[in-house]
Structures are given as structure tokens and as C-alpha cells.
Amino acid sequence: MNPDPFGPGDGRPEDDGLPGAPARIPAPRESLEDSGRPLPEPEAPPIPALDHDVLKSLLGAWALAACAPDEAAAVELHLGICGPCADEALRLRDAVGLLQPEESLDLDPGLRSRVLAGCLDRRPPRIPVPDWAAPYDAETARLDALLQDIGDGEWHAPVRLKWYDGGSDRPVNRRTTVAGVIAHLLTVDGLVAVALGLEDPLGELTPDEATPWARTETYWKASHFPPTRTVRMPWREQSHALVRTVSFAGGGSGQLSVPYGTFSLPLRDSLIDRAFECWVHAGDIADAVDYPYEPPAPRHLNRMIDLAARMLPSALADRRREGLAAPAKGLVRAGSPGRSLRLEVEGLGGGEWLIALDSPGAVGSAEHEVAHVALDGVEFCRLAAGHVLPEEAAAGQDGDREAIRDVLSAAASLSRM
């Protein structure tokens, strides 16, 4: 018997091309690499023979690297023997370089803020943050990212804080620095910290020093030197402590009252107010250091606009008591529908609100609508921050002009230092 069952004489039929014959696997051929012989050089594609006019017409495409490989080879061969075409090719290649300037290797300064915004939008926190505290959490994080990116010298860049003095119906401002703005946010956020039982960054203060203005002035005057970047750490630690405390306390803590000296706000509204101030002053800082800064996320912007809209009836009543607004034309009992203005805020974060005109306790009513105002969301926030005068607000207006003027002025009067 043949010891090789698959060799000749195994009784298997030869592959004669008949149907059913097994496929024969040919023996491997010796490769050039195995033999040690040199590999043959690949044949270069033939260079087409083109006349001078055709080659000259291809110089522009060659300079832009837009020629076919064989055409490029023909042009380059021609440039070695034709001086005028070589000079023209050099001039065209230099011109292409001017049309395509080198890109900077520096990262887009807005990249960090966009990545951070995406993370804040998608990453669920380990301890759920109440939805009314989420805007403050996001805006303080965005401002902290801005502060991390600026240099030491930029902390002393001049910043002019602006707001609208409702009592005098005129814009006012105060000059400070980037570090001074963070000190201002630290001291006013301290009002929320005190309400939550946390340490006051200013220590013991008298009731007369409980207003945002007085607290800021006290901090500035107590400093022997102008604030520097060292103010960032206490502000950052305080903002983290506020978010952490309300997160552990749960949603019920939102009704806790936070006094601002002349008025009070529930904690849930107070943190939205502080988020609004953080965004506004971050914009002031960004303008001072030439840093790109975007508005808040639409859902957070909507909460800020909603708070301002809910505060308008009381602000309007305060201005009326001071003789700065037209007298009420139809007082009604609290909870009853009354004369109203429709506030339409357009864009992301916008919506519609019916503002009671004659009594802060009245309910806005579409049936009693006497005026309609339409503004962009960011424009309305700039008005409420005192960065735009009432008469300069780009608003679509229809109906009672007196009511429109009073509501726009009341919106501006919500601003403060």
C-alpha cells in the first residue's frame, strides 16, 4: 500500500474536468522573495507627449495639484527644459500659497466652553441637582471655565458694571476689574449661603449691610489691595457648597426665604436670579478680555425669563407708588383677571406671558389684553439686566403705548448692581 494516501496511486480519479471531480490544489510556486533574487522595479506609467501650448495651459492646474498623474509628470518634465514655463509655474505656485494661508495651531477659544456645555447637558450628576438649581450650577461652571483660561494680567482688566436706576429712571455704572466682579458675585451669593446656614464670606454684618450693593462695597473697602485672581477659589468653593447643600436638602428647600435687604425671594427663585447675574457678569468679563461667550442653554434661559416676567407686576406696582408709572385703570381683587399685557419672547428659551398691569395680585388674562410686546430672548434679558434702556429695546409693539412703556421700564428696573 502506498504510504501517502493523497499521493499517486491512491486510487482517486484524476481531475479530468469531469463533473464531480475534486478540485486540485496546485503546489505553491517559488516566490521571488523566497529565492533571494531582487524584485523587478514597477514600470512607471508612460509620460504622454503633449505640445507646448497644452503644457502651458496645464500650469495653473499643476500649481493647484489638480492635474492627473500622467499630466503632472509631463508638466514637470517640461519645466526642466523650458525656462519661461518654469518661471510662470513658480509664480503660480507662490500665488496659490497666498490664497491658502497657514492655519493657526491654537485651539478655538470657544472650544472649551462648547465642550463644557455639552458635558453639562449630557452628564447626569451622582446626586441629582434640583431643576431650579441647575441653571446656577451650569452658569457658575461656565464662568469658572472662562476664569481658568485668562492670564494673570487679565484679572486687572477694567470692567464697567451697568444697571438701571429705577428711582431716577437713568442708567448708572460702576468701574471695577475682572477680580472685582468675582468679588461682587462672591458677596451677593453669600446671601444665599447665609440663608442655607453656611458661612458668610463677609462675617458678621449689620442689617444695613444686607443689600447686594452694601455687601459689595463693604468687601471692596475692606481689601487693602484691589482683588486679584485669589478671589476665584473662595467664589468657586462657595458656589460648589451652595449646589451641594441644596442637592442634599432636596426639592423642599426651594421655599426657604432668602432676604436681599429690601425684598426677599424663595430659594428656588433666588438661585435662578443668581444664575442670571452670573451669566450677565460673565458676559461683562468676556467683553473685557475679548473672550467668546454664549447665552445659557435654552431651558435655563427660559427659567430666567420666566422669573423676570413673574416679577414684573410687583415692579410695576412699586414704580406706580413712586409716581414713575401711570395710575392703575382697573384695580381688581387678588386672583381675579385684570387688564393685561402680552409679553412674547422670541427665540430659544422664549415663550409668552400675560402681565397683570393694575394689581400685582391680579391674574393675567387674554380676554383683558390691551397691549402686546415682542422681544428676542437675549434682548429681553439685556433689558432686565439694565444693559439696554427701555426706549432702546428692539421690541415689536401693539396696543396701549402707555402700558408698553411702563412694562419695559419696570423690566429695566429689575436690574441692580
**pLDDT given at position 116:** 60
Could you give the CA distance from residue 415 to residue 417 in angstroms, rounded to a whole number? 7
Q: Which residues of the chain, if any, have pLDDT below 50?
A: 1-36, 39, 102-105
pTM for this prediction: 0.70
Could you give the CA distance from residue 113 to residue 294 in angstroms, rounded to a whole number? 8
Could you give the CA distance from residue 415 to residue 165 in angstroms, rounded to a whole number? 8
**pLDDT given at position 410:** 96
**pLDDT given at position 251:** 64
Could you give the CA distance from residue 399 to residue 408 in angstroms, rounded to a whole number? 14
**pLDDT given at position 13:** 42
301-413 CATH pick, 3.30.160, 1.25.40, 3.30.1050, 3.30.420: 3.30.1050
Please answer whether residues 239 and 201 qualify as being in contact, where contact means their C-beta atoms are separated by less than 8 angstroms.
no
CATH top class, domain 127-294: mainly alpha
Could you give the CA distance from residue 179 to residue 216 in angstroms, rounded to a whole number? 12
**pLDDT given at position 352:** 96
Q: Where does residue 232 rank: exposed (0-12), middle (13-18), buried (19+ CB within 10 A)? A: buried
Instruction: Give the relative orientation of helices 178-195 and 267-289 as an angle to the nearest 10 degrees.
Output: 170
**pLDDT given at position 405:** 95
**Element of type H or E holding 373:** strand 363-376
**pLDDT given at position 55:** 83
**Element of type H or E holding 338:** strand 337-346
Segment 45-104, tens digit of pLDDT: 677 778 888 888 888 888 888 888 888 888 888 887 888 888 888 888 777 766 655 444
CB-based contacts of 114: which residues, under 8 Å, 6+ apart? 294
Segment 311-348, tens digit of pLDDT: 999 999 999 999 999 999 988 898 999 999 999 999 98
Could you give the CA distance from residue 302 to residue 163 in angstroms, rounded to a whole number? 21
Segment 138-153, tens digit of pLDDT: 999 999 999 999 999 9
